[in-house]
Amino acid sequence: MRPTIAQVALPVPLDKCFDYQIPNYLYPVVGGRVSVPFGRQTLTGIVTALVDTSDLPVEQLKPIKACLDQQPVWPTPLYQLLIWCSQFYQYPLGDTFSLALPSLLRKGKAASFASMKQWHITDSGKDQFAAGFGRAHLQAQAMRLVENGPVPHPLMIEEGVSSNTLKTLQDKGWISVSHSQPVTSRWPKDIENSDLKPKLNEEQAIAIATVNNVSGFGCYLLDGVTGSGKTEVYLNLLKPVLDKGQQALILVPEIGLTPQTIQRFKRRFNVPVEVIHSGLNDTERLNAWLSARDKQAGIVIGTRSALFTPFASLGIIIVDEEHDASYKQQDTLRYHARDVAVMRAHKDNIPIVLGSATPALETLHNAQVGKYHYLTLSKRAGNAQAASHKVLDIKGLYLEGGLSAPLIAQMRRHLNDGNQVMLFLNRRGFSPALMCHECGWICECKRCDAYYTFHQGSQEIRCHHCGSQRPVVRQCEGCGSTQLVSVGVGTEQLEKQLEMQFPEFKTLRIDRDSTRRKGSLESALESIRTGEYQILIGTQMLAKGHHFPNVTLVGLIDVDGSLYSSDFRASERLAQLFIQVAGRSGRASKPGEVLLQTHHPEHALLQSLLHKDYHHFAQTALKERKMALLPPFTHLTLIRAEATQNDSTESFLRQVRHTLEAHPLFDETCMVLGPMPAPLSKRAGKYRWQLLLQIETRSKMQRILASAKPAIQLLPLAKKVRWSLDIEPQDLS
Ligand code: ADP
Ligand code: ZN
Ligand code: ZN
């Protein structure tokens, strides 16, 4: 007999599925989308089971309105992975499904290709080639792309052409746009362009053979210094996979910063490559998703969320820069894309390679205990040299806009030699605080437990926590004095300072304020490459996945904050930043130099990075983590709560603590810390508290949370505060 009731997961914040009647003319499938009435709305949900009975009387059940798919939306292993994610990260199933779908499918659109924007060259555009494009390098690059036929819009963006450039060219009448169905392409016989292959060195060959020798699941840490040929290893691993007609998924931290890497994959292989990033519009995203599902794409390269792309036949997963913090989602489904990728590979029974020059301590530990295979590339490929590094003790030195005299002197030397210099400072704005020179009053955000940052360019003070901003204050609210001074240095001030120090060189600042406009990051990176700017200032945005061969001096302006941070991961992040920037500068003929300004040159972390290496640091840090019972030796869950009332927030978490401690599985291997005020104890008018649960094993964490969560939801205060569970948090603020 045919089932009469469908259980449906809906995008509502409730940990349950809902029962609906199946009208006799509809045929829902498990894993397919249905459209159902919910209150007054119509929602799109995913069928999780087809059954004959319900806990509710059948006549109370509403009927399904429409079935949107005749097939499950995801292949079975991916569907199961999403269920696992929902359970592991304690996030409602319906919301988890919803997040994993392209938004057009979430809205109930058909799961088939939609027409896509394409760019064509016009006749007057062709004429222009004869006249040339002068100094308009970006325009010339865009025109060359369309010269030989229409190019889909997303492809132009991937090639580094900004939307602005396209608009300019369209306004000039040199290119035009059309909307058409993407052409379905078949993979050619010759999958690889092998003339581009370098001869592998021994370590690369061993790494590749190790992965290829095992069939089925295996997790490999590819630990190799920057420039040691990791990407070359990835390319070699893809070859046999594509030959078998299987596909590859490559995760990267940020697409905007990796155009060169993407180009290498495209140039090496003659299969379609889809690139999934936040710049895609809904149609482009759906088409990329379908292209992977229907096996048009051979390779998908994408950021965190590309992890949930369905594949007809996935053969390998690569996670590049696996240590990068951006793999962890910081809200809603707080998943770690690297960790879930390992689970995905396990469910798909395929190999996964985690690559990094600075592996996360968790990953190193997994390799050391034998859970992951350990592969290493110890030498730079080709003949590039490692950068040299040095600490500048700035105790007692006069700092001009954050710069010490020895650093300025070094900069001058490198700049005069015709090289570029890059400075890192992880603080946006002009200065992190505005203070009264007479009485010491500091201008504080009323809604947060934080100081206002002074932005000189816009003559505003802004709170970086709640986003509030107002015109800069002119008078002290304590004593009425008008002598307000800025304290500390942000990127904006550093930029001003450099323009004064080095008027003969051009300075470029790259941070969230200066790259707000879409496409502006790409054009900024391009102008660094062309050498238009000689001095580059960046927050750690600039440290990701990019190689700047003409940068021969890198300066870390202020690292003291990371040496004495309350976040136990701060030292790991600093070590990674240091090694990454050192590895990205210079080349064989121009070795790089890294200078680090600190008041604490004797600090053990700095000493171990300078005189030993990342691995020495990592071993020391792992020992410390073990003693302190911190990850990876225990597993953490951070329970955050916030409300307008300080008392109720704290009491709620106290009750949560009791609930957890009363759990039958809670024993001496478990510990709860708190409630304690969050590091930022007030934000946007809400008081913030937190509770940290520390348990020896993941499975016990899971079992305790699975049954404690419903009990927490029943606490009367649970409805009065906003609270969330962050499983294996990366950020404790
Ligand atoms: P990583 O991904 O570890 O930073 P890449 O794969 O990008 O390193 O390699 C760095 C540079 O060395 C690239 O220009 C690459 O083409 C080159 N390279 C890689 N492997 C070899 C090799 N075996 N022989 C010569 N050059 C190589
Ligand atoms: Zn604020
Ligand atoms: Zn004052």
pLDDT of residue 258: 67
Ligand 3 is an ion; residues with CB less than 5 A from it: 436, 438-439, 441, 476, 478-479, 481
Tens digits of residue pLDDT in 528-577: 888 899 999 887 777 765 677 788 899 998 888 788 777 889 889 989 98
For ligand 1, what atom is nearest to the CA of residue 204? 23
Mean pLDDT for the stretch of residues 77-99: 96
Residue 188: inside a domain = no
pLDDT class of 257 with cuts at 50, 70, 90:
low
Mean pLDDT for the stretch of residues 719-730: 95
Rounded to an integer, what is the distance from CA 221 to the centroid of its chain? 19
- Is the C-beta atom of 561 inside 6 A of ligand 1? no
Same domain? For 291 and 424 the reply is no
DSSP string spanning 609-651? HHHS-HHHHHHHHHHHHHHTT-TTSSEEEEEEEEES-HHHHHH
Residue 456: inside a domain = no
pLDDT class of 115 with cuts at 50, 70, 90:
low
Whole-angstrom CA distances from 34 to 18, 93, 286, 332, 613 are 12, 15, 18, 23, 55
- Is the C-beta atom of 230 inside 6 A of ligand 1? yes
Mean pLDDT for the stretch of residues 18-27: 94
pLDDT class of 51 with cuts at 50, 70, 90:
very high
- Is the C-beta atom of 376 inside 6 A of ligand 1? no
Residue 49: inside a domain = yes
Tens digits of residue pLDDT in 265-283: 999 999 999 999 887 889 8
Residue 187: inside a domain = no
Same domain? For 609 and 719 the reply is no
Residue 83: inside a domain = yes
Cβ neighbours of residue 645 closer than 8 Å, sequence gap 6 or more: 687, 720
pLDDT class of 181 with cuts at 50, 70, 90:
low
Asked if pLDDT for residue 256 goes beyond 70, the answer is no
Same domain? For 412 and 559 the reply is yes
pLDDT of residue 356: 95
Cβ neighbours of residue 364 closer than 8 Å, sequence gap 6 or more: 221, 223, 618, 622
What is the domain range of residue 174? 116-180
Same domain? For 362 and 232 the reply is yes
Question: Which residue puts its alpha carbon closest to atom 25 of ligand 1?
Answer: 382
Same domain? For 363 and 404 the reply is no
Tens digits of residue pLDDT in 433-468: 888 888 888 888 888 888 888 888 888 889 888 888
How far, in Å, is the centroid of ligand 2 from the Cα of 443? 11
State yes or no: cis peptide before 23, omega within 30 of 0: no
3-state class (DSSP) for residue 154: helix
Mean pLDDT for the stretch of residues 612-621: 88
- Is the C-beta atom of 232 inside 6 A of ligand 1? yes
pLDDT of residue 55: 93
Mean pLDDT for the stretch of residues 114-143: 82
- Is the C-beta atom of 231 inside 6 A of ligand 1? yes
Q: What is the DSSP letter of 199?
A: P
Same domain? For 130 and 10 the reply is no
Burial classification of residue 561, based on how many CB atoms lie within 10 Å of its CB (0-12 exposed, 13-18 middle, 19 or more buried): exposed
Tens digits of residue pLDDT in 52-75: 999 999 889 999 999 999 999 999
Structure tokens at 80: 């199961």
State the CATH number of the domain containing residue 653: 3.30.70.600
Asked if pLDDT for residue 13 goes beyond 80, the answer is yes
CA separation for the pair 247, 241 (Å, rounded) = 7
Q: Which of 187-196, 408-417, 695-704 has the lowest mean pLDDT?
A: 187-196
Rounded to 5 degrees, φ, ψ at 612 are -110, -125
pLDDT of residue 276: 92
- Is the C-beta atom of 236 inside 6 A of ligand 1? no
Please tell me which residue, 188 or 243, carries the higher pLDDT value. Answer: 243
Please tell me which residue, 178 or 332, carries the higher pLDDT value. Answer: 332
How far, in Å, is the centroid of ligand 3 from the Cα of 486? 13
Cβ neighbours of residue 17 closer than 8 Å, sequence gap 6 or more: 7, 8, 9, 10, 48, 49, 93, 94
Whole-angstrom CA distances from 33 to 5, 47, 108, 131 are 15, 6, 8, 54
- Yes or no: say if 340 and 85 are a contact pair by the CB < 8 Å rule: yes
State the CATH number of the domain containing residue 77: 3.40.1440.60
For ligand 1, what atom is nearest to the CA of residue 235? 6
How far, in Å, is the centroid of ligand 2 from the Cα of 686? 10
pLDDT of residue 446: 87
- Yes or no: say if 218 and 210 are a contact pair by the CB < 8 Å rule: no
pTM for the model stands at: 0.86
Amino acid at 465: H
Neighbours of 618 (CB within 10 A): 22
In sequence order, the β-bridge partners of residue 319 are: 251, 354
Q: What is the DSSP letter of 372?
A: S
- Is the C-beta atom of 201 inside 6 A of ligand 1? yes
Mean pLDDT for the stretch of residues 398-404: 88
Question: Which residue puts its alpha carbon closest to atom 26 of ligand 1?
Answer: 382
Total count of domains within the chain: 5
Tens digits of residue pLDDT in 191-247: 888 887 899 999 999 999 999 998 999 999 999 988 889 999 999 999 999 999 999
Same domain? For 65 and 45 the reply is yes
Same domain? For 689 and 592 the reply is no
- Yes or no: say if 545 and 254 are a contact pair by the CB < 8 Å rule: yes
Q: How many residues does the chain have?
A: 733
Same domain? For 512 and 548 the reply is yes
Question: Which residue puts its alpha carbon closest to atom 5 of ligand 1?
Answer: 229
State the CATH number of the domain containing residue 616: 3.40.50.300
Same domain? For 501 and 592 the reply is yes
DSSP string spanning 17-64? -EEEE--TT----TTSEEEEEETTEEEEEEEEEEES--SS-GGGSPBP
Residue 158: inside a domain = yes
CA separation for the pair 711, 342 (Å, rounded) = 31
Kind of pairing between the strands at 484-487 and 593-598:
unpaired
Structure tokens at 642: 């916030």
For ligand 1, what atom is nearest to the CA of residue 547? 4
Mean pLDDT for the stretch of residues 95-113: 90
Rounded to 5 degrees, φ, ψ at 164 are -60, -45
Tens digits of residue pLDDT in 490-539: 888 889 999 999 999 999 988 777 776 666 777 777 888 888 999 998 87
Single residue among 625, 647, 672 that ends a domain in this structure:
625
Same domain? For 90 and 206 the reply is no
Ligand 2 is an ion; residues with CB less than 5 A from it: 445, 447-448, 463, 465-466, 468
Same domain? For 80 and 143 the reply is no
Mean pLDDT for the stretch of residues 665-693: 92
- Residues within the annotated binding site for Zn(2+)? 436, 439, 445, 448, 463, 466, 476, 479
How far, in Å, is the centroid of ligand 2 from the Cα of 455? 15
Single residue among 574, 604, 625 that ends a domain in this structure:
625
Asked if pLDDT for residue 588 goes beyond 90, the answer is no
Rounded to a whole number of angstroms, the distance between the first and last alpha carbons of the chain is 54
Please tell me which residue, 430 or 18, carries the higher pLDDT value. Answer: 18
CA separation for the pair 451, 459 (Å, rounded) = 16
Residue 226: inside a domain = yes
How far, in Å, is the centroid of ligand 3 from the Cα of 503? 36
Q: What percent of the chain has pLDDT over 90?
A: 54
Mean pLDDT for the stretch of residues 634-646: 95
Residue 151: inside a domain = yes
Single residue among 577, 601, 625 that ends a domain in this structure:
625
Rounded to 5 degrees, φ, ψ at 276 are -110, 120
Q: What is the DSSP letter of 327?
A: G
Rounded to 5 degrees, φ, ψ at 449 are -90, 65
